[in-house]
Amino acid sequence: MRQHLHAEWTKLRTLPGTGWLLLALVTLTVAVSVAAAAVVSCTPAGCGHDPAKISLFGIQAGQAVVAILAVPAISGEFGTGMIRTTLAALPGRITVLSAKAVILTGLTLTAGSVAVLASALAGRVILLDNGFAPELPALTGGPMLRAAVGSVLYLALIALLSLGIATAVRDSATAIGVVLGLLYLFPAIILMIPNEDAAKLLWQISPMNAGLAIQATTHLSSLPLSPWAGLGVLAAWAAAALLGGGLLLRLRDA
């Protein structure tokens, strides 16, 4: 496994776009979070906004960068035919996929932690200036800490979901389209469903809607899923994608 990890780390870090994508993940996430916090204000009568979800709103934009980072990690090799060389030099297809997953997860967790920390700190300062109560939870507070840590894990799971789909689909453009459709189009379709029970069920299985429940710190009883259960739904999506992709990787010719 050590050789597989070293090989995948070498390939990923030497790709010209990797560093720029990680920088884009941090920059875009923080910029969108700051913009969201800047346009929200509270009156002396009260405030119905969830400060954690506002401060970490940029995660909804940053996840697209994560998908663009993760998909080419394997689909790019299928496109160039390099996957044959990889599998010949490093026998064990599932081990190769596992190594890619470990490296991608590590990079995403690192960049995601920076993005979430910067977003949460900047958001707190801006929200206090915009009329939020002085007792706004600190980053080390229980609910806010859960939202921050959960958001980092959310990005890592998006990376694994993207890798699994790319392994199954093989084509970069198609895989990115499928991932972005699940993340952005699926929630939009739910809004157009008139039946409340059906809409609620789809919300509960939507990878983005359910996964981002981890950011909620207020009105938790009104959520269709609890925060950790919602993140568990996204984890199930990622696991299913990786299992399906791994099975197809074993069964099909490279």
104 neighbors 70 (Cβ within 8 angstroms): yes
The residue ranking higher by pLDDT, 17 or 132, is 17
**What pLDDT shows up at residue 93?**
82
pLDDT at 5 over 60: yes
- Which range of residues forms the domain containing residue 79? 2-251
Q: How confident is the model at residue 154 (pLDDT cuts 50, 70, 90)?
A: very high
Find all residues with CB under 8 Å of 120, minimum gap 6, and list them. 52, 55, 56, 139, 144, 148
Q: What is the pTM of this model?
A: 0.92
pLDDT, tens digit, for every residue of 162-171? Answer: 999 999 999 8
Other beta carbons less than 10 A from residue 156's beta carbon: 25
d(CA 244, CA 184): 22
Q: Domain tally for the chain?
A: 1
| Mean local confidence (pLDDT), 179-185 | 95
Q: How confident is the model at residue 133 (pLDDT cuts 50, 70, 90)?
A: low
d(CA 145, CA 52): 9
